[in-house]
Amino acid sequence: MKLTFKKSTAVAVVVLLGLLSLTVIAVEAQIVWPWSSEPGFEPQALTTQHEGGELQPDDNGYTGAIIEANQAVIAPSGDQPEEEVNWDALIPEGDPDTIETNAEPNWSGFYYYHATGSALRPRDSAVEWNSSGTGGCLYQVSGNANVIYNLHLDIPDGARIDYLRIYYYDTSASDSYSWVTRYDDSGGLSDVTSIASTGTAGYGTALSSLVLHVVNNVDYNYVLNWRPYANGSTMMLCGLRVAYRLP
């Protein structure tokens, strides 16, 4: 009996010490306990909305009340006031990448793949980048100014790329370049079209020449590229727009 009591005491002491250790570790390390499961190892049920199969306003078949957005509560994307740029004055009337021109019988009217400048990212982590105060334009803060920023260009197979337009802010003595590249997944590439920012007047836009490149998504992938050639907010990419036609 005496021996049993000693064993029980030892077990109790060990258990208590173990639990106390766990508590101390948890508090000190601020561990978030995975509790009954860890993300990825066990399917998790959503705790709200969509629970129980009840239809929500963004589900097909929903017929309940609709709450409209109160614009006043929407957080602004940027921390600086918007700027007003008159694109109509900057883009010549009848530029060939507009809907009204270049209609062809075997091709649709223009479709546009229109990317925000701040959606591109560098191909090399050695540089620093930032976005403009409104969050739409991208510029390189420091590092090699030849580094390329890119974004996957997702255009339907069989479509025909006609034009690439660049929107920029440029008060730098340098010119930045943008282009579309096609990769074959094994090191091969082909630059489809390119266009440069020019001048030092600030906001501007420029249009590539006509390309007539038919997209082949079976054998290739496509990306939009931008090379700043200058550091600082005097050279910013604000947007890229690819005009394409469907067969």
Partner 1 sequence: MKNKGTFYKRLVLALISVVLLGSFLAFSSTPDVLAQNDTEGGQSINALVMGQAWVTSYDDAGGLNDIAYVPFGNYFGFSTELSAYSGAVVDNISNSYVLNWRPNLVGSSMYVCGLRVAYRLPDGVGGYSSSFSYLHIPGSVLLPRTSSVNWSTDWTGGCIYLKSGSPSAVFNKHINIPDGSRIDYLRVYYYRASLGYLPLIKR
**Residue 1 found at the interface with partner 1 (CB under 8 A):** yes
- The interface with partner 1 within residues 38-97 (CB under 8 A) comprises 38-41, 44-50, 56-60, 66-70, 73-78, 82-85, 87
CB 83 within 8 A of CB 134: yes
Counting residues that bind partner 1 (by CB under 8 A) gives 88
Is the CB of 138 or the CB of 195 nearer to partner 1? 138
CB 205 within 8 A of CB 167: yes
Is the CB of 6 or the CB of 184 nearer to partner 1? 6
Phi, psi of 237, rounded to the nearest 5 degrees: -95, 125
**CB of 188: closest distance to partner 1 in angstroms?**
25
- The interface with partner 1 within residues 220-239 (CB under 8 A) comprises 238-239
- The interface with partner 1 within residues 171-200 (CB under 8 A) comprises none
CB 147 within 8 A of CB 126: yes
Which residues lie closer than 8 Å to 175 by C-beta, 6 or more apart?
196, 197, 198, 229
Phi/psi region, residue 189 (left: phi>0; alpha: psi -120 to 50; beta: rest), is beta
The size of the chain, in residues, is: 247
> CB under 8 A: which stretch of 27-35, 172-180, 188-196, 212-220 binds partner 1?
27-35
Binding mask 97-136 for partner 1 (x = CB under 8 A): -xx-----------xxxxxxxxx-xx----xxxxxxxxxx
Q: Which has the closest alpha carbon to 77: 137, 138, 36, 136?
A: 136
**CB of 94: closest distance to partner 1 in angstroms?**
14
